[in-house]
Structures are given as structure tokens and as C-alpha cells.
Amino acid sequence: MRAVWYERNGPAREVLTVGEMATPEPGPGEVRVRLATSGVNPSDVKAREGRTRKIAFPRVIPHSDGAGVIDAVGAGVPEARIGERVWTWNAQWKRAFGTCAEWVALPSAMAVPLPADVSVEAGACLGIPVMTAAHVIATAQADVASTLLISGGAGAVSHYAIQLAKMRGAVVITTVSSPEKATLARAAGADHVIDYRREDVGARVKELTEGAGVDAVIELDIAANAALLPGVLRPRGKVVVYGTGAMDGGVPLYFFLANQITLQFVFVYELTAQERATALAIIAEALASGRLVHNIAATMPLAAAVDAHEAVESGRVAGNVVLTI
């Protein structure tokens, strides 16, 4: 099969190889998926570079997200699954071979039915971006009585989080860094958009909430934005963190203590079975509604994996990057 892999950590242009490998066979409890797409996420890029985890196998095919059709099953898996359109999650988490290839073999539960009216490009965005969004919105307990501040409203996860929060009836405030990104955030349904490069985020949040502050913050980079939290949160509010741009960073601890703020970290790769089931149910409901908008910023062929990694790494694109296979 055609695949992309690396055998050491480093820059994409130095370590990614496009070539031929043996097509995998599904083991017991596994399915084999003939992939049509592979999603490229920031965590994939960081893992390849070696920033968040060092290579743990002699050869790694990157990417956890993808979509395609099951074409073979292992022992214990019903043959009725053959021919099923699916999307994947955690394909390369603690496993050597992910979705950046023509085929992937993985546990049956990690291949989820993809509705017929959802494209394979959108399917490649469900594993990390949408599942993270579903989990953080559930963790924040978003509902009709909630006002949320979702940072980076044009980003892949935040764009979905805005939509899922609005489906629950919450009021959503979001931050962006440009007019173009503001347009994307509004298209997702954000009630209020703050350009943090041109406006005082704390002052605007206090104005929009009549001085009360928000009930919860959905934070993509706690290291960069921790100092903003005292200016936007109400007492007994919650911060749900799903990312950080640095390994360490200061947090306003006395503010958290005095105001009894809940600081909740989430890591989409390590959800409990119940958390995963809840997220999958939220995703299924959102897809069935037909209301979920997918911001696919770029699609590239498998052979352009280096360009795709560099695009994600540089932050040049606002939205999801998908390889077509």
C-alpha cells in the first residue's frame, strides 16, 4: 500500500517518507479500513516533531483521524461490517500505524459508522476536532442558562465547540485575531466575537455579561491565556482546558482560590469509556441534525503530506487540513 511514515522525530521535510509498505491484515477484534481521507491535526505534527512525545516504534505512520470503508474484518467481528462507511479515532495513539496510508487496521470500536450524507472529508475531522469539542462542551455543562467564552473561535476544535454549544442553547462569546477569522466564528454561530488584537477582551466580556463574567471558558492555550481569566470569569466559574502552547506557564492561583474556580484539563486521547460514549452520542446527534458545519481549510493529496504538516505547524490555515487518498 501507499503510505507516509517517519522513523525518527524531526522536521516534516526531513523525516516524512512517501513509499510502499505491506497492506495490513486485521487481527482479532479488528477491522481494516480502505481509507479515503486522513485528517492532519496539531497533535500529529507535534508528535512527529517530538515536542509532545518521542517516537516509540521503529516506524510510525502518523494521524489518528480518517474516513473510508471497511473492506475486511478479523476474528470476532461481524462480517456485516464489511462495506460500512466509517470514521476513525485514536488510530495512531499508542499504536505504530495511523491513517496516513491507503489502509489501516484497528480495533472495531475505533471505526464508527459515517452517515451516508456526511462526506469523507468531514469524516476525517470527527476524531480529534469534533470529539474534543463534544467533550469540552459536555464538561463545561453548557446549556440554555450558560454563557461561555470559547478562545480561538476560528480554530478547528473551537469552530465545532461554538456550534455544539449553540445546539445546547448557550450564549457564546469567542475571541479571534483577524476580521477573516471573525467571519468564520460568526458562521459557526458565535453570538459575540472579540478581536483580541484590537479590543480589551476582559472589558468586552464584562460589558457583554453586564459585569457578571462568563460561566465557563473553553481554552485552547492555557499557557498563553491564563492571565486573562480573572478578567472574564464569574465566581465559581469553570475553565476547561484542552491545549497548551508551552510545557509550563503561570496560572493566577489566588484568583482561582478566592473565587473557587474549577480548572479542568481534558485529553481527548484518554477519555474514559463513559466519556467516549457521551462524546460519540453528541457527535451522532449533531451529524443527524444536518446542522454541523465543517470548516475544511485545505485538502491535499497523500503525496503532499509534508506540505500539509508544514501548513498545520505554521498556523497558516484556519480550520482543518485533510489529505485525500
Query: Could you report the per-residue pLDDT of 40-82, keeping only the tens digit for each?
Result: 999 999 999 998 889 999 999 999 999 999 999 999 999 999 9
pTM confidence score: 0.95
H/E segment holding residue 289: helix 273-289
Q: What is the pLDDT of residue 247?
A: 81
Q: Is the pLDDT of residue 91 over 90?
A: yes
Share of the chain above pLDDT 90, in %: 94
- The pLDDT mean for the chain works out to 96
* Helices 273-289/131-139 angle, 10° precision: 110
What's the confidence (pLDDT) of residue 245?
Answer: 83
Tens digits of residue pLDDT in 241-279: 999 888 888 889 999 999 999 999 999 999 999 999 999
The reported pLDDT for the residue numbered 28 is 98
The SS3 call for residue 268 is helix
Which cell numbers in the block locate residue 94?
499508542
Task: State the DSSP string of 46-99.
Answer: HHHHTSSS---SSSBB--SEEEEEEEEE-TTS-GGGTT-EEEESSTTTTSSB-S
Residues 6+ apart with CB under 8 A from 85: 67, 68, 69, 113, 114, 115, 116, 120, 123
CA distance 60 to 83: 27
For the cut 90, the answer to whether the pLDDT of residue 128 exceeds it is yes
Query: Which residue(s) pair with 6 in the sheet?
Result: 60
Nearest to 152 by CA among 217, 203, 205, 216: 217
- At 318, the pLDDT band (50, 70, 90 cuts) reads confident
